[in-house]
Amino acid sequence: MLGTPTYSGPRFRVRSPHVDERGMEEQNMILNALPPDSYARLRPHLETRVMRLHDELWSSMQPMTHVYFPRSFVGSILIPLQAETPQVEAATVGREGFLGTPIVLGADSSVSNAIAQIAGDGGAIEASKLRELLATDSALLAQCLRYAHTLQEQTAQSVACNSRHALEERCAKWLLMTHDRVGRDEFTLLQIFLAFMLGVHRPRVTVAAGMLQSAGLISYQRGTIRIVDRAGLEAASCECYAVVREAHTRMLSSPR
Ligand SMILES: [Zn+2]
């Protein structure tokens, strides 16, 4: 709803104490927040993966082979429903988190599907190797569990959001969350993916995105979204954007 109080805190920022073998700063914030010795143990097992749009990370009820730590790609956890398309998004995960919390929580599969919704790269570690490291590294385990809790809160917030908040508010929220994760004003997003994210059919997405575009908050042409007025988009979003971002900020700043 227009006029909702805005959140003026910082966007996700990367201030990495860790660098990789090429001298590049670590861009994933969960890895970034690890103590140096935990990061040093994990880093050799992280393989860089370039994710293209719609690459599959896991599929429903199939064994999860890897856990993914996005650096620039953004993943989406989707719930498939029989005879229902599009699928419904349960959570968006970018460099503030990782994809594969069931592995940390002792499971090896999920009812969800996960895909890359924004192309980019990230680190992938074999699920069995991560389990091995978690068994002997309490700081790594604590950090992964804190994130699993935050992701659960994000998912719970989505339940309330999807049932009570207007489509254009949810569309603004999703664009802000993605803007934070990709760290640039322009990104590619096909309308079908926006339909996944919002759990509605494409014609309704066209109307919602059109309203935000008419208000001068975004431009949307041929699958490319540009954030034009960030503050205006925050004012157009429901409260859920600020709630979820503050939960991530708390998680990342909590004591190790
Ligand atoms: Zn909401």
CATH code (residue 227): 1.10.10.10
Whether residue 67 is found in the same domain as residue 155: yes
Residue-wise pLDDT for 101-140, tens only, equals: 999 999 999 999 999 999 999 999 999 999 999 999 999 9
Q: How far apart are CA 57 and CA 78, in angstroms?
A: 11
Is the pLDDT at 92 greater than 70? The verdict is: yes
CA of 146 to the centre of ligand 1 (A): 23
Whether residue 89 is found in the same domain as residue 41: yes
Q: How far apart are CA 142 and CA 169, in angstroms?
A: 34
Q: For the chain, give the percent of residues with pLDDT over 90.
A: 66
CA of 124 to the centre of ligand 1 (A): 31
Residue-wise pLDDT for 191-227, tens only, equals: 777 887 888 888 888 889 999 999 999 999 888 999 9
CA of 94 to the centre of ligand 1 (A): 19
Query: Looking at 145, 161, 177, which one is the last position of a domain?
Result: 161
The whole-number pLDDT of residue 223 equals 84
* 15 within domain boundaries: no
Whether residue 38 is found in the same domain as residue 154: yes
Whether residue 182 is found in the same domain as residue 65: no
Confidence band for 8, pLDDT divided at 50, 70 and 90 = very low
* 55 within domain boundaries: yes
**pTM of this structure:** 0.88
Whether residue 89 is found in the same domain as residue 131: yes
Phi and psi (nearest 5°) for 247? -65, -40
Give the burial string for 193-217 (b: 16+ CB within 10 Å, else e). Answer: bbbbbbbbeeebbeebbebbbebeb
Of the CA atoms within 13 Å of residue 81, those in its CB half-sphere come to 10
CA of 164 to the centre of ligand 1 (A): 7
Query: Looking at 161, 194, 217, which one is the last position of a domain?
Result: 161
Q: Which two tokens stand for residue 189?
A: 């997003």
CA of 72 to the centre of ligand 1 (A): 25
CATH label of the domain that carries residue 74: 2.60.120.10
- Per the structure, the count of domains in the chain is 2
Q: Which residues neighbour 24 within 8 Å (Cβ) at sequence distance 6 or greater? A: none
CA of 132 to the centre of ligand 1 (A): 38
Whether residue 117 is found in the same domain as residue 104: yes
Residue range(s) defining the domain that contains residue 85: 29-161
CA of 68 to the centre of ligand 1 (A): 27
Of residues 82 and 52, more confidently modeled: 52
Query: Looking at 161, 185, 207, which one is the last position of a domain?
Result: 161
CA of 18 to the centre of ligand 1 (A): 35
* 16 within domain boundaries: no
Q: Which two tokens stand for residue 30?
A: 């969960």
Whether residue 38 is found in the same domain as residue 134: yes
CA of 243 to the centre of ligand 1 (A): 9
CA of 241 to the centre of ligand 1 (A): 7
Whether residue 46 is found in the same domain as residue 93: yes
Q: How far apart are CA 91 and CA 155, in angstroms?
A: 6
Mean per-residue pLDDT over the chain, rounded: 88
Indicate the pairing of strand 84-93 with strand 218-221. Answer: unpaired
Whether residue 137 is found in the same domain as residue 153: yes
Confidence band for 3, pLDDT divided at 50, 70 and 90 = very low
Is the pLDDT at 29 greater than 90? The verdict is: yes
